[in-house]
Amino acid sequence: MTLDAAKIRKDFPILFQEVNDEPLVYLDNAATSQKPAAVLDALRHYYETDNANVHRGVHTLAERATADYEAAREKLRGFIQARSTKEILFTRGTTTGLNWVARSYGDANVNEGDEIVISYMEHHSNVIPWQQLAKRKKAILKYIELTPEGFLDVEDAKKKITAKTKIVSLTQASNVLGVVNPIREVAKFSHAAGAILVVDGEQSAPHMPIDVQTMDADFFAFSGHKMCGPTGIGVLYGKQSLLEEMEPIEFGGEMIDFVHLQDSTWKELPWKFEAGTPNIAGAITLGAAVDYLTAIGLEEIHQYETELVSYVLPKLQAIEGLTVYGPQETKQHTGVISFNLAGLHPHDLATALDMEGVAVRAGHHCAQPLLTYLGLSAACRASFYFYNTKDDADRLVAAILAAKEFFQHGSLEVR
Amino acid sequence: MALSKLDNLYRQVILDHSSHPHHHGLLDGSTNQIEMNNPTCGDVIQLQLLVKAGVIEDLRFDGSGCSISTASASMMTDAVIGKKVEDALTLSEEFSQMVQGNEKEDLDELGDAAMLSGVAKFPARIKCATLAWKALDQALTEKQETTVAKQLHCED
């Protein structure tokens, strides 16, 4: 394998504990990732040595905090290959980023009868802001179909995206199916139709190299906590030409130029969008997470996760009664694998796996339109990251087999 | 093996109720009905009651859920059919206390439902056990024909 996961694991203190008397196997990375010691140290270092408010004090700590905060912005710019730090807005996370685009760009550019196009595989955070925008503007929300294998139906996308389409918003990687979408291709025909393309990068940015210029996304939103950073911090990238034209969503301190009695003017990009004291510690700590991931290499992480999925997918498919949803091959596949065991509700299976120390997610994964589309009410999901090992994969398979045995043969309790 | 811990939750009588639920399928004529879901897991329950002169004469349920929620609904129907409305509400409160680990000494009135006391040690599953009882509570205390109520939000 390309990357020494056994060595990397040692960077994550939380992984070395027992859960229900078993060594923890953490496979809920699509919900949130764990944090390496270097990131935890950066958080502590900031509060112990540099803590001050940014962009306002003239004292030394304020200067240091401001410099570190803006240095983090530069790290995030490099992380997604944006042209300028003016295009990097700090947010609370992907949800905030997508809501800002819908509220600001959407309200200014979408009118009655216009169309907004998303797909059936979107997370609720990339569904509801567009539903609400469509309701406000009497616009039409359309959904791109999936192929029977679970890929985005690109031919259907070409049909659904028309001259009436103002916004196309797509996830780069599904949080349920693990499938990776051809963003660059969709960007081409979205732009040809006169629409902008918004990309939900929540499940892709932590796992593969991102180049917003090559993919030609107009907006790209992602969260820090799924890429080894803290919760409550994320990034909205937007093309500078679009951001310049957009109105801020929130108003207050930090984002103003001049405040008069009846009117005010805004700071330049990116600060006009960052009202109030920002999540300074979060941004700086996310910068440390970028340093950590970059040192390992995003291409290496991507390749390693592909190898891990190639290892575990056939073992899961071989379990009788187990259904894996979405693509059955590792092509265009992230470390996210959703499945169900026949005759057993995913919550019961997840509880059994938890008793074996294996942490997975069970439920609708905030993707009810997708689960309905697939004819499901819930599913189990195992999601791998670069600190997971083949041993973790084996523990997952063994735990599923043990759960199957338990529920097939009933309780071990003597009646 | 670690899964022996599951015995505390999935007792045989619970597995029996979940694979062969009692009073499953809906009534022709009902006086109260409700649909309730648990948005964290996608479980949905529909309850139909026949209440006459303050007594629950019949109670049926349908929907989709995990083995804990299905077993709990089945056990609940056994426990409350034939009971006065106020007694059923008292039982509901007793059940709610029990699955949160605040056990009383006398749980006989709950019947098989008392077997769900082990849920208290699985905090993530308490809502599975209480879904049916919450639905019953609302169906008995609210007058509208059909209510869709939600319990929780989701996180990722």
B101: domain CATH number is 3.90.1010.10
Is there a single domain that holds both residue A222 and residue A86?
Answer: yes
Which residues, other chains included, contact A263 with Cβ-Cβ below 8 Å and sequence gap of 6+?
A: none
Q: What is the pLDDT of residue A408?
A: 83
Structure-block tokens of residue B2: 């670690």
The last residue of a domain, from among A250, A266, A295:
A295
User: Which residue is closest to A30 within chain B, CA to CA?
Assistant: B156
Q: Which of A85, A89, A99 is nearest to A278 (CA)?
A: A89
Structure-block tokens of residue A323: 């259904």
Q: What is the pLDDT of residue A413?
A: 36
Q: What is the CATH number of the domain that holds A103?
A: 3.40.640.10
Q: What is the CATH number of the domain that holds A390?
A: 3.90.1150.10
The answer to whether position A414 is within a domain reads no
Q: What is the pLDDT of residue B29?
A: 81
Number of structural domains (chain A) is 2
Q: How confident is the model at residue A410 (pLDDT cuts 50, 70, 90)?
A: low
Is there a single domain that holds both residue A89 and residue A106?
Answer: yes
User: A260 lies in which domain range?
Assistant: 40-295
Nearest CB to A413; choose among B7, B41, B65 = B7
Q: How confident is the model at residue A1 (pLDDT cuts 50, 70, 90)?
A: low
User: Would strands A361-363 and A358-359 be described as parallel, antiparallel, or unpaired?
Assistant: unpaired
- Long-range residue pairs from A342-345, CB within 8 A, at least 24 positions apart, any chain: A343/A407, A344/A403, A344/A404, A344/A407, A344/B67, A345/A378, A345/B65, A345/B66, A345/B67
Query: Is residue A20 over pLDDT 80?
Result: yes
Q: How confident is the model at residue B150 (pLDDT cuts 50, 70, 90)?
A: very low
Q: Prior bond to A270 cis, omega within 30?
A: yes
Query: Is residue A412 over pLDDT 50?
Result: no
Q: What is the mean pLDDT of residues A108-112?
A: 98
Q: Which of A351, A370, A414, A415 to mutate to test the interface with B (most CBs of B within 10 A)?
A: A351
How far, rounded to the nearest angstrom, does the alpha carbon of residue A277 sit from its chain's CA centroid? 24
Number of structural domains (chain B) is 1
Q: What is the pLDDT of residue B152?
A: 36
User: Would strands A361-363 and A379-383 be described as parallel, antiparallel, or unpaired?
Assistant: antiparallel
Query: Is residue A321 over pLDDT 90?
Result: yes
Is there a single domain that holds both residue A246 and residue A342?
Answer: no
ipTM confidence score = 0.82
Query: Is residue B154 over pLDDT 50?
Result: no
Marked catalytic residue, from A366, A371, A393, A399:
A366
Q: How confident is the model at residue B53 (pLDDT cuts 50, 70, 90)?
A: very high
Our answer to whether residue A366 is catalytic in this structure is yes
Which residues, other chains included, contact A318 with Cβ-Cβ below 8 Å and sequence gap of 6+?
A: none
Q: Looking at CA atoms only, how far is residue A256 from chain B in angstroms? A: 33
The answer to whether position A356 is within a domain reads yes
Using the 8-state DSSP alphabet, how is residue A101 labeled?
Answer: I
Side-chain half-sphere exposure of A88, counting CA atoms within 13 A: 23
Is there a single domain that holds both residue A50 and residue A191?
Answer: yes
Confidence (pTM): 0.92
Q: Looking at CA atoms only, how far is residue B97 from chain A in angstroms? A: 22
CB contact under 8 A, B6 and A406: yes
- Long-range residue pairs from B135-139, CB within 8 A, at least 24 positions apart, any chain: B135/B34, B135/B35, B135/B36, B135/B45, B135/B47, B136/B47, B136/B49, B136/B59, B136/B76, B136/B80, B136/B88, B136/B92, B137/B89, B137/B92, B138/B34, B138/B36, B139/B32, B139/B33, B139/B34, B139/B47, B139/B49
pLDDT of A323-354, one tens digit each?
999 999 998 899 999 999 998 999 999 999 99
Query: Is residue A103 over pLDDT 80?
Result: yes
CB contact under 8 A, A348 and B4: no
Please state which of the ranges A118-122, A211-215, A405-409, B114-118 shows the lowest mean pLDDT.
A405-409
Query: Is residue A10 over pLDDT 60?
Result: yes
Residue A169 and residue A117: Cα distance in Å, rounded? 6
Residue B51 and residue B134: Cα distance in Å, rounded? 17
Is there a single domain that holds both residue A315 and residue A368?
Answer: yes
Q: What is the mean pLDDT of residues A314-326?
A: 96
Please state which of the ranges A21-30, A61-70, A341-350, B30-39 shows the lowest mean pLDDT.
B30-39
Is there a single domain that holds both residue A118 and residue A220?
Answer: yes
Q: What angle do CA A364, A370, A371 make, to 5 degrees?
A: 45
Q: What is the mean pLDDT of residues B51-76?
A: 93
Query: Is residue A285 over pLDDT 70?
Result: yes
Nearest CB to B12; choose among A361, A378, A411 = A411
> What value does the mean pLDDT of chain A take?
95
Q: What is the mean pLDDT of residues A301-310?
A: 96
Nearest CB to A347; choose among B6, B15, B66 = B66
Please state which of the ranges A69-78, A112-121, A373-382, B41-50 shows the lowest mean pLDDT.
B41-50
Residue A134, helix vs strand vs coil: helix
User: Which residue is closest to B65 within chain A, CA to CA?
Assistant: A345
pLDDT of A234-265, one tens digit each?
999 999 999 999 999 999 988 999 999 999 99
pLDDT of A65-78, one tens digit each?
999 999 999 999 99
Q: Looking at CA atoms only, how far is residue A407 from chain B in angstroms? A: 8
Q: Which of A223, A336, A347 to mutate to test the interface with B (most CBs of B within 10 A)?
A: A347
Is there a single domain that holds both residue A130 and residue A268?
Answer: yes
